[in-house]
Structure 1
Amino acid sequence: MKHTDLGVLDGDLLLFGGAYGNFQATEAIFAQAAQRAISADHVICTGDVVAYCGAPAATVDAVRKSGCIVLAGNCEVQIAQNADDCGCGFEEGTACDRLSVAWYAYARTQLDANARAWMAALPDVLSFVHHGKRYGVVHGGATDVARFVWETDSDAVFEEEWEALEAITGPIDVVISGHSGLSFLRDTPRGNWVNAGVIGMPPHNGDQHTGFAVLSGGAFESIPLSYDVEGAVADMAAAKLPMDYAVGLQTGYWPSEDVLPESLRVAVSDRG
């Protein structure tokens, strides 16, 4: 595990994950950073720069040119290794498994050796100090980059991940993560665990807005992100990807709930 300690970051920090090849959302997040006068060295991406959407190369280029801090997600790890799949561990035959075959294969064809080398060099874990507290940043979990950690998980899950993270970083007061696609703040026996949310897909709530977080003076604020949804949909159509995730961008609901715990699923009858 490659660990990078960023030192002391006491100004406002902008936190986001899951750009997912959504170039329009990526442009929007950096516009947010500019509007808030948050410099690139205070913008942290929790990984998965590419995935479901249709502009992987443009999205990688935008992230790299921004100069922001990027953590390796499972997609970066897998593409850097030229692996055969995204490494999410989707159950064989599920909708997520079927759809990942198409978007992952497309991303592999669009990213060159230079992009793969950049991904290979990304850290697996970050740490920093903000207003006297020490923060650790992981993609999914410290035990597994592709582990889905949910707000509804047991204290034992958070304890296992916290212990594994501290074995790498030393003592941590707060954990920041990504990967699962749903933002949350969970008060665990060890401290707060915060999922910063993703910008490339809506959080399965019927709203087209995606989301990010700002950490200011030790307090987190979750913020909705507006972007050019139809532009992202057009990119997916041009890439000839299955349009299931494009529909998800438009409706605000994921095309599959395969990875979600039962308690976080949304009944079809409850969808507007």
Structure 2
Amino acid sequence: MKHCELGELNGDVLLFGGPYSNLQACKAVFAFASAAKIARDHVICTGDVVAYCGAPAASVAAIRASGCAVVAGNCEIQLAQNADNCGCGFEEGTACDRLSVAWYTFAQSKLDAEAIGWMKTLPDVATFTHHEKRYAVIHGGVRDVAQFIWETDEDAVFSSEWDALERVTGPVDAVVAGHSGLPFIRQTSRGAWLNAGVIGMPPHDGSTQTRFARLTGGKMQIEMLEYDVSGAVRDMDVAGLPADYREALKSGYWPSEDVLPDDLRVAVSESG
């Protein structure tokens, strides 16, 4: 694994994942950072800059121009290798798997060699110190970048990932991750595991607001992000992408619960 040490970060740290080619969400999260006077080198992305939405090239450009740190998500890894799929960890034949063909192919067609070259440089894990605690930032799992790790998983899942992580980074006090799309803070037997959520897609809760996380005063908190939903929907429409994820931006519910464990699924009557 490629490891990047970010050093000691004093002041607030903003953590976010899954821009997902949603340019409007990218702009909104950087506007929040600016308004909150969070330094750009205190902003960290857990990967998957490119995915479901309609502005892959512009989103990559916005992330790069921001100066924030980024760890490689499965989408960056697959695009950098010119792979024929997103490597998202979806089961073959599921709705998410079928829909990924369209957005991944579209993203491949829009990214130039410079953007792909940048993706090749991204680390798999980043570490930093904040308020005398050492944090590690990954995408999904340590042994599998596209592993879905949920708040409801058994403690053994977190512990085994922690062991694998520390073989790369040395001891850490907390882990920051993304990929699954649902934000959470879980106190495990090894320390706090923070999923910072994603900014490019709502967390399947019926709200159009997306999520990111913030370290402030040594404490973790999850924040809601307001952004120009109609603009993101318009970009997807212009791109000719399937309607399913456009509707997800508007409804706040994912087009499928294929990846979710039973205890995190929403009743059909609620999700429509």
The reply to whether TM is greater than 0.5 is: yes
Tell me the residue number matched to 1:44.
44
**Once the two structures are superposed, what CA deviation does each residue of 1:213-260 show, in whole Å capped at 9, x if it has no partner?**
110121011111001101100100100000100000000000011100
Deviation at residue 160 of structure 1 after TM alignment: 0.9
Give SS of 1:4's match. strand
Instruction: Trace 1:65-214 onto structure 2 (pairs within 5 A).
Output: 65-214=65-214
Q: What amino acid is aligned across from residue 64 of structure 1 in structure 2?
A: R
Distance in structure 2 (CA, Å) of the matches to 1:107 and 1:84 = 12
Deviation at residue 271 of structure 1 after TM alignment: 3.5
Tell me the residue number matched to 2:258.
258
Give SS of 1:97's match. helix
Give SS of 2:162's match. helix
Give SS of 2:82's match. coil
Q: What amino acid is aligned across from residue 129 of structure 1 in structure 2?
A: T
**Number of equivalent positions:** 272
Q: What amino acid is aligned across from residue 79 of structure 1 in structure 2?
A: L
Distance in structure 1 (CA, Å) of the matches to 2:135 and 2:95 = 35
Instruction: Trace 1:216-255 onto structure 2 (pairs within 5 A).
Output: 216-255=216-255
Two-structure CA RMSD over aligned residues (Å): 0.8
Change (3 A) 1:271 1:87: closer
Give SS of 2:165's match. helix
**Once the two structures are superposed, what CA deviation does each residue of 1:78-127 show, in whole Å capped at 9, x if it has no partner?**
00111000011211111000000000000000001100000000000011
Task: State the identity as a percent.
Answer: 66
Tell me the residue number matched to 1:26.
26
Deviation at residue 56 of structure 1 after TM alignment: 0.2
Q: Is the 8 A contact 1:135 1:173 kept in 2?
A: yes
TM value normalised by structure 1 = 0.99
Deviation at residue 269 of structure 1 after TM alignment: 1.4
Q: Is the 8 A contact 1:10 1:217 kept in 2?
A: no
Q: What amino acid is aligned across from residue 32 of structure 2 in structure 1?
A: Q
TM value normalised by structure 2 = 0.99
Distance in structure 1 (CA, Å) of the matches to 2:237 and 2:193 = 37
Q: What amino acid is aligned across from residue 60 of structure 1 in structure 2?
A: V
* Structure 1 unaligned regions, length at least 5: none
Distance in structure 2 (CA, Å) of the matches to 1:217 and 1:141 = 27
Runs of 4+ in 1 over 3 A off after TM superposition: none
Q: Is the 8 A contact 1:178 1:195 kept in 2?
A: yes
Give SS of 1:126's match. strand
Deviation at residue 7 of structure 1 after TM alignment: 1.0
Distance in structure 1 (CA, Å) of the matches to 2:23 and 2:7 = 30
* Structure 2 unaligned regions, length at least 5: none
Distance in structure 2 (CA, Å) of the matches to 1:242 and 1:200 = 16
**Once the two structures are superposed, what CA deviation does each residue of 1:51-73 show, in whole Å capped at 9, x if it has no partner?**
00000000000000011111100
Distance in structure 1 (CA, Å) of the matches to 2:96 and 2:217 = 38
**Once the two structures are superposed, what CA deviation does each residue of 1:18-42 show, in whole Å capped at 9, x if it has no partner?**
0000000111011001001111100
Distance in structure 1 (CA, Å) of the matches to 2:218 and 2:175 = 12
Give SS of 1:134's match. strand
Q: What amino acid is aligned across from residue 10 of structure 2 in structure 1?
A: D
Q: What amino acid is aligned across from residue 26 of structure 1 in structure 2?
A: C
Distance in structure 1 (CA, Å) of the matches to 2:173 and 2:42 = 19
**Once the two structures are superposed, what CA deviation does each residue of 1:159-199 show, in whole Å capped at 9, x if it has no partner?**
11000000000001000000000000001000110001100
Distance in structure 2 (CA, Å) of the matches to 1:107 and 1:94 = 20
**Once the two structures are superposed, what CA deviation does each residue of 1:126-148 show, in whole Å capped at 9, x if it has no partner?**
11111111111110011111000
Give SS of 1:117's match. helix
